[in-house]
Chains A and B, each alone.
Chain A
Amino acid sequence: MPNWSILFFLFSSAFVLAQQKPLDAVTIQHIKEGVSLASKNTETISSNFTQEKEMSLLNDKVITTGKFYFKKEQFLRWEYIHPFAYAIAIRGNEISIRDEGVVRTFNTQSDRIFSEVNRIIIGSVNGTLLDDDSFTADFNQSNAFYIVALYPISVSLRESLDKILIYFNKIDFTVDKLELIEPAGDFTRITFMQKQLNKPIADEVFILR
């Protein structure tokens, strides 16, 4: 993403809540088709990200930064660099976690929570979560984004997650920002920066050592 786009994004995001507008059926269809086409045309994504955990009652936030890699269909690496080192790599049904230098590997099918996390992360990034039966969707827009609010249907998921807001870039329909809002009002905002699409990424990137 060029620098002017980042500035534009930063500037516009400050007003995003005030400028959200509900959408008509034609625009919603336009978003779904745009996201679907972007997903179809995107083989890889590499990006830096900033994650802000906002604690509403404390008026405080925890900020972490890291790197993100995605490769079709089911390869994903999510790595925190600051203020701690932690990495998750997903290869299909296999998840590896490297924490404090130790790598552990699971099968996502054997762990319901990881299976859910896997589905939500990959589904958010490639847009398939929009058609996921586990969520109801609400569509809005601001100047820079199409904003899709996903509300979990399952009672157990609703206990820890009120909704997910996915901010799709209006130009290329890729995800610029995610917000995970919890029932108590705390939320986590993940902003993707210096995003690169379809740049070759070796399979080894998704193997943690």
Chain B
Amino acid sequence: MAQLKRSLAEYVHAYGPHVSDTPVNGWAHKPAIDRLVKTHCCFCGMQCGIQLQVANNQVVGFEPWEDFPFNQGRLCPKGVKRYLQSHHPDRLTAPLIRTDAGFREASWDEALDLVVTRVREIQAARGKDAFAMMSGVSLSNEKSYLVGKFARLALNTANLDYNGRFCMVSAGAGNKKAFGIDRAANAWADLPEAELIFIAGSNVSECFPTLMHYIWQARDRGARIIVVDPRVTPIGRTADLHLAVRPGTDSALNQALLHELIAHGWVDEAFVRERCTGWPELAASVATCTPAWAAEITGVPADQIRRAARMWGEARTSFLLHARGVEQHTKGVDNVLSLINLVLATGRIGRKGCGYATITGQGNGQGGREHGHKCDQLPGNRDIENPAHRAHICRVWGIADDELPHKGKTAVELFEAMHGGEIAGLINICCNPMVSHPDTNFARAALERLPFLCVIDFFMSETARYADVVLPGSLQEEEEGTTTTAEGRVVRIRAAVSPPGGAKRDTDILLELARRLGRGDKFAYADNEAIFNELRRASAGGTADYAGITWQRVEREMGVFWPCPREDHPGTPRLFEDLRSYHADGAFHLHATPYRPSAEVPDAEYPIYLTSGRSVFHYLSGTQTRRIKFLVDKSPGPQCEIHPALAARLGLVDRQLATVETRRGTLTVPVAIVESIRPDTVFVPYHWPEALAANQLTVHALDPVSKMPEFKVAACRIRAATPDGAARARALFAELRLEPAASGGAA
């Protein structure tokens, strides 16, 4: 049982997060630069090009990479400061084994042998699937592919899933249902060609700052913007039309928009008749979804809905973008499909200036979700239950079908199974569920009940504190590889430096574990490029086909867009140019999305909507960005955005500490009174752990198709913090700005 052995403060003091803003040699003049390494930022799906300055095997700074076509040198503050990680004082540099007093340092042999012993014991006693693996898509394509193969062949478990389940998986599921392929339909270069940009549930300005350039390019050419968001975000502020939708009601809004398109004859009749299936059923399903009906549900005035429908209906070209705001719901897939329906109803897809995309959030959110570390997936975005797909992968891996596990549990289901005792062991890489899992108190209970946990990470994440074995891994800039950006462009990640001290490359850790688990024969790679070349073969013929993409091409061409089936194939920046989907029938599939309420909506007891999201200064669970002083100074901790009218009703003043409470937990944070949010809704960013985790409050409920949790809607109540609660919160906030310890030490 993995109860914490020390107080949280003791873990923080020993392993961080400490904040550091200190370059390698302090703020004196930089050392002479040995080389500039052209690579990409690790901090979101844009994967901006950046050059890292390297001196003496240390990253000492950055220089904009103005030749890289996507961002031409542009960066957000996370990208500017990411160079501070490689030598950060919190880096784990030796394997750690849990003791009664916390952790002790151990040799790699001892740590790896312990992991292998426990895997064997648990699987012998409880069956293969009792040992699970959780992964994440900040990993490169090579590592993502390797994790999928490692879990299936070396652990031989069905139970592997990934943190995209906490991110955008509803978009992937919706895209597969409608298009038969899970990728942005267009490169970002189509954005400036559009005369209308419709942005649903994406704070592009804070979550994807460098994409803003493309939206402004479009506006400079006269494009108009519609933003759907409960908050006036920086991009919402400049929108031509901002629809401040009530959380959880997007599909109703989109149904009404479709109703209006039909009512006014703004439908591409030929396209829906000849290129789509399901149009009559879809049209019938929105017959009664009038703007007045939707206004009641969404809180958006009917005339604004009519205006949005007119703008969309009369546009000749358009680009529809969405992100987590519509996806992280118990009806995330329906929300996504209801938006795709608008695109398909007007036939504006597959040509210049006519685009559609989900804006993937994680560093390799696109590539990482294609090559087999999802519970139901094999490389090339193949289906693990499809016999032909299995046969192809078995050939590439040189195994018989009965050696390849079948579909396993999704992420939240894995935690439920740990909680229930069905799963007894877990290897966790690149994921910090103590911040990112919904209802984190449940996640903690699951980890506490888990008999064995191994965490591979470069910092002591809040999840790693619960580990029996912590293996110190590598940052993105410490391994060669590739990622795939949110627009489907495969780009080259360069090893700028080697991991510090006794830390090892993630790839080497997985390969060595595989060898010790007796499957070394299946994991013999000369280098990471050999892994990529196997990925190419494994993906060949799948929808996410990388067969024609080589590292050399990626470097030479500044990225290659998949699908790219042959080396003489140019890649595919824009999908559907032949107006055919990737379904067997070649048609685009329309789906009715009847509105249904969120799992939990406000009531008399919990009368306020709570929604959550990101800050521009932090990345995901904050394991990296909560350690960089510039970012921590700008955003030290969570705050609760609340409208002045609601604050007045609750008797709260700006910056007062208030306690937000849901049926799962409580969170005490300062109030930020802003006019830029709906008066029935409050917003808390989610990047912090433990007592400051917004996810203590979120609902433990899943989309039935994508199994995505509902991070975006919960019912809460708010009151002024008690004196004790306020004192505890002040202590927690004081800790967030902790400067580096003079010397480290085991807790």
| Binding partners A and B | no
